[in-house]
Chains A and B, each alone.
Chain A
Amino acid sequence: MPLVLAEGIQKNFGSLEVLKGVDLRVEEGEVVAIIGRSGSGKSTLLRIINGLETFDAGILSIDGERRTGLEKDLRPLRLKVGMVFQQFNLFPHLTAGENVMLAPREVKKLSQRAVRELAEETLSKVGLADKFKAYPDQLSGGQQQRVAIARALAMRPKALLCDEITSALDPELVGEVLDVVQRLAAEGMTLIMVTHEMRFARNVGNKLIFMHQGKVHEEGDPRELFAHPKTPELASFTSAIQ
C-alpha cells in the first residue's frame, strides 16, 4: 500500500483553479522530486498532503488512512508527515537544541533525557552537534535549514515534505543541505521534494513529477524523463533551467 495516495485532487482559490485533478502515488522509501514552473501548484499540492490547505475534490489517503479534508484535528496526520519550508521557519527565541526538543517533549511527552538525546542525535545527523546552544540568528542559512530538517526528523515522521528548501540559500550553502537530504534518502526516508535543483532530482530521485498548469504533466524515472522528455513543455522547462 502506498504511503501517500492522491487521486483527482482539485483545489481552487476563489475562481482560480490551482490543482485540476492531480494523481500522486508515493511508496514507502521512495524519493519523489516535483518540478515545474512557478505557480504550477507544487506548493499547494504539498500543503494539501499535510493539511495546511484543504482540497475541493478528489481522494487522499496517507498511510492507509483516508482524509476527508474536513477533520478538525490534524495532529495524527502531522505525526506521520514532517515538513521543511523554504524559509526555514525556525523558532527564533529558542536555541537549535530547543527547536528540536520542543515538539518531542510537549507533543510526544518524552522525558527530558530522551528528548535531549534525540536532539543530540538528530543534530549530529545534520552535522550540527556543536550548534546545540546557538540561536537561529547566529547560524548561516544552510545551518538553519539543517536545524529545521533535524527538528522535523526528531518527530520520526514516515515521510518528509520539502518545499524548495534550498531556494532561499546563497549558492555556496546549497550543497550542505542537499548532502543531508541525500543521506536521508540513502537511509530509506520517504521524501517528497519540490525542487529547482535538477541535478539533484535526477541523481537522487526515484521518481520525477513534472507539474504544469495544475496537473501532473509528465512523470516517471528521472534519468529517463530528463534524457527523453515526452512533452514539449517539459523539454522547454528543463532546457530553460539548465
Chain B
Amino acid sequence: MSQDQSYGGNNLEERADFLTDAEIEQWTVATPIFQDLVSKAQNRGARLFIGPRGCGKTHLFRHAHLGCNKKKIFSVYVTYGKYYHLEPLISTKANAIHIFHTWVLCKLIEGIKESIDLILNLESDIQKREFPENLDPWLTQERLQDISRFINYAEKGIVDNDESSELIIKELSITKLQQIINKTAERFNCTRTVLFLDDAALTLTPEYLVEFFEVFRNLKDRKISPKAAVYPGTTEYGSRFHLGQDAQPEDVWDVDFSSNNTVIDQLTEAERLNNFTSGIQEDVLALLKIASFGIPRAFINLVRYYVEENGNIQKRFNRAIDLHTDLLLKEYKSFQHKLPHYSSVIEVGEVQFNSIVMVLKKKNLELHSSDLKQLMIGILQETTQNDVLLTRMIRFLVEAGLLFPKGNVKHGVNRTYDRFIPHLAFLFKEKAFSGLSRGFNTSNIINYLKRQDAKHPERTTLSKLIPSSDVERLHLDLPSCQNCGTARTLESQKFCHQCGYELINESKYQQCMKMSVEELPLSQWRIGRILQTSLKTVGDIMSHGNVASELKKPYGMGRIRADDTYRTVKIYIEEFLS
C-alpha cells in the first residue's frame, strides 16, 4: 500500500445514495430475505426499517421505490439526511419545530414532483411526457420554486419571516399534503401510495424526531403507507408514537453467515465486484464476508482494503481487519463529538465492548477441543435496567453496529439475559477462533465457525464486564453555567439554579464544524498535508469558497487526491450528523 492508506479508486461505490436509478436496478441482488423486505416496503401499512449505517436501507428503499412503478403503486422517495442543517434553529428560532415540520412536508412535495418526472420519463408516448400543470396549485412551477427556496433557506438556517416562507409555513398542512398525494396517485391511475422516508433516524435532534414521527403517524391513511428508515438503539419516537401499533418494525440488519444466500453472498457474485473478488481466495472471501457482520458497505470496504494491500494472504487479511475495526471504533467514538455530555458513557462502553470480546475469546479457546463455538454473550438484565447511563451505553454500542442484539432469554426467576453478538471482525482481530495456534489458517477458522453454537450464551453481568472504577466514573459531562460557572445537575436543565440565568446549549452542528481536521478518518499523511493549508477545522472545509484548489496546494496533493479528500470529508460529515 502507498503512503496514503485512505487513497483508493472509486470503482466501488459503497453508498446507495450516489448510485443512479439504473445502477440500483442493475446492481441489486435478489435474495429471498431481500425480496421479502422489498415486498414489506411496498405493501400497505406503516413500517419502520431498522438497521445501522451501511446495512442497505437506502438501497432497499430506492429499489422498492423503482419497483412500485411497475406495480401501479404511486411512490415517493425522500431523504431527510440533511435534518441536521436545521438543528441550530432549535436554539435560535421559537418556531423551529414549525419550520422543521414544514421542511418535512416540502421535501415530500419535491419528492412527489420527482416521482411524477420519473413516471413521465417512462411514458412511451412523448406527447404525454409533459408535466401536468393543473394537478394541484402546490405543484405549479411557481410554487415548486417557492418550496425549493424554503428548503434551501431552512437548511441554511435563514428562514426570516419573508412572505413566501410565511405563506408556506401557514398553509401547507398534512391534510393538504394527503390531498396532493391522493390526487396525484389518481391522476396516474394508482390505487395507493407508498412514501419512502429515508435517513429518518434524526439522532442528534430528539425534538425534531418526535415531530417527525408525529407527521409520519398522521400521514398514514387508507391510501397512503409511510415507511421510514431508522437506526437501532438510540432512536426515540416520542410519547405519541407507539412502535408496533403506529408502525411495524422490520429488521434490515442480519448477521446470519451460515446461509449461503445472503445479500453479501450475492454481492460477491455481482458483476461490479467480480473484478475485485475474483482474485481473492475463496476461504479469505468467506472470512471477509463474516467479518463484514451483515453490513454490505463494510464488505465492500473490506474487499477494497484487502485488494489494495500488498504482501501475503495473512498480512493482507490482518491489515484489512485492522483498518476496518479502527474505522468502526472511530465511528463509535464519534458519538463523543455528537453528544459530548455522554463522553464518559462512550469511553466506558468501549471498555465493556473489549471485555465482551475478551470473554468470548477466552470461551472459544476453552471450547477449541470440543465441537462447539460461542459467539453470543448474555448480560443479566437486572443490572442493565437499573441505571439509565448503563442502558444508554449498550444502546450506543448497538447503534454503532458493534453489538448485534439477539433479544433476551430467561434462565429462571429474576434471571433474564439480554443477548448480543459482538462484531466478529474484533473476534478475528483477537484470533478468537484460532485456538492456541499462532499461524493463520483460513480453512481452520471457517471450519471452526461451522461448528454448532453453544447451548446457552456466555452469561455474565455488567459488573463483571466493567471494573467498578469505570462504573464510578460514569456521569453526564454537562457544560457549566456561562454566567457563574456553577455545574449543571440535570441534562435537561434550562436555567442555572444558582444565578437564574439561561443555560446556553451549543448547537451540535456548530460543535461538529469546530472539529479539528486531525480527527477526520483520513491517513496521517493526508491530514499532515491538509494542515499545511488554511483548512484547520471541518467548518473551514465545508465553508471554503474553493476547497478543491486549497486542498491541491500542498506537495503531493493532486487533483484526484484533493477531490477524493473532499468527498471523503463530506461523506464523513453527513454520516456523522445523520
Do A and B truly interact?
no
Binding site for A on B (CB under 8 A): none
Binding site for B on A (CB under 8 A): none
